[in-house]
Amino acid sequence: MSVSSCTRIVLAARPHGAVRASDFRIETAPLAEPAEGEVQLQVRYLSLDPYMRGRMDERKSYAPPVALGSTMEGETAAQVIASRHPDYAVGDIVLARTGWCSHANVAARGLRKLDPALAPITTGLGVLGMPGFTAYSGLRFIGQPRTGETVVVAAASGPVGSLVGQWAQIQGARAVGIAGGADKCAHVRDELGFDAVVDHRAPDFPERLAQACPDGVDVYFENVGGAVWQAVLPLLNKYARVPVCGLVAQYDGATADGPNLLPATMREILSRSLTLRGFINFEFAEHFPDFLREVGEAVASGRVRYREDIVDGLENAPRAFMGMLKGANFGKLLVRVS
């Protein structure tokens, strides 16, 4: 049953420093009938992810920015409500890049169907989706932890960090998580089963991290940058690997204030033969089926655990997103749209 209008959230202004509510605008727009080869989707869940902060800036990163007045980009789990493609039927659940909206027409090509019988459809946006694949591919192709090595990851209760630690353990490594606050730390230690966890809000965070890594750090999965990087750098062992998949601590107003930390960082890269490697999971897309099979089995068996933080209502997406950039979410952040 197709609809003739949708609700969407557009980029109203480019942020200066921290994102504000006024950088977004919610609006209603007409929606045409789907064209040949398209499906019309009703969005069930919208995924909110740190990379979206980058798309709000003018500066080109690995992808072009969202245009002012355009719908905020994002991936969703959505249901087909009208179809003009033979492979898709009304009722099918698919992953799509509809952006922050209630309904959309999209080309059927490139959609991926989700089977609700195999796993909750929300996992397609988290542990069995792009965040999980970021963890998996960064470890498999860059971090390459070996038995007995120490792997450190921040945002350890989040969708990338939680799989980094658990998957590192499955490879035989020791997992040390960093998280903000007692609740998240308890979850990382007790529910996810990391070998150790350190609260980055502790005044003596660098010392605690050092204590949690008595044999140094062999893999640091970089998703935050900033002060956490400064605490990890002195602990990195010779030949340590640093997959860099995010820098959330510096998305909201990274500045060139303070001492110049680059010369000392370069010196450590040289003197300890470190590897820093930026990556976006798309690079390893051909291995997505491996990921889905391997991690899917581990999720189904309960060996890999995950947590979701679900906010109700599209209109609450901007607030939830702003909170996430400050670490307020607890688990994979999703918006239940309908």
**What is the helix (H) or strand (E) element at residue 269, kind and residue range?**
helix 262-271
Q: Which residues pair with 242 in a beta bridge?
A: 276
Does residue number 278 form part of the binding site for a second copy (CB under 8 A)?
A: yes
CB of 37 to a second copy, least distance (A): 31
CB of 20 to a second copy, least distance (A): 21
**How far is 21 from 32, CA to CA, in rounded Å?**
29
**What is the helix (H) or strand (E) element at residue 146, kind and residue range?**
none
CB of 332 to a second copy, least distance (A): 21
**How far is 153 from 219, CA to CA, in rounded Å?**
9
Residue choice 6, 156, 164, 274 for contact with a second copy (CB under 8 A): 274
The pairing of beta strand 5-11 with beta strand 24-30 = antiparallel
Sequence-distant (6+) residues with CB within 8 A of 307 are: 157, 162, 187, 191, 330, 331, 332
Region binding a second copy by CB under 8 A among candidate stretches 125-133, 152-160, 186-194, 242-250: 242-250
Does residue number 245 form part of the binding site for a second copy (CB under 8 A)?
A: yes
Does residue number 16 form part of the binding site for a second copy (CB under 8 A)?
A: no
Does residue number 264 form part of the binding site for a second copy (CB under 8 A)?
A: yes
DSSP code at position 151: E
From residue 221 to residue 240, the character string flagging contacts with a second copy as x (rule: CB under 8 A) and all else as - is: -x--xx--x--------xx-
Q: Find the distance separating the first CA and the last CA of the chain, reported in whole Å.
A: 15
CB of 33 to a second copy, least distance (A): 38
If the CB atoms of residues 62 and 183 are measured against a second copy, the closer one turns out to be 62
From the list 255, 301, 306, the residue with the least C-alpha distance to 122 is: 306
Residue choice 2, 144, 237, 250 for contact with a second copy (CB under 8 A): 250
Does residue number 267 form part of the binding site for a second copy (CB under 8 A)?
A: yes
Q: Burial, 6: exposed, middle or buried (Cβ in 10 Å; 0-12, 13-18, 19+)?
A: buried
The interface with a second copy within residues 38-67 (CB under 8 A) comprises 54, 61-62
| DSSP alpha helix (H) spans, 57-181 | 130-138, 159-170
Residue choice 30, 86, 203, 262 for contact with a second copy (CB under 8 A): 262
Region binding a second copy by CB under 8 A among candidate stretches 16-24, 130-138, 171-179, 257-265: 257-265
Give the interface with a second copy as residue ranges (CB under 8 A): 54, 61-62, 222, 225-226, 229, 238-239, 244-247, 250, 254-280, 283
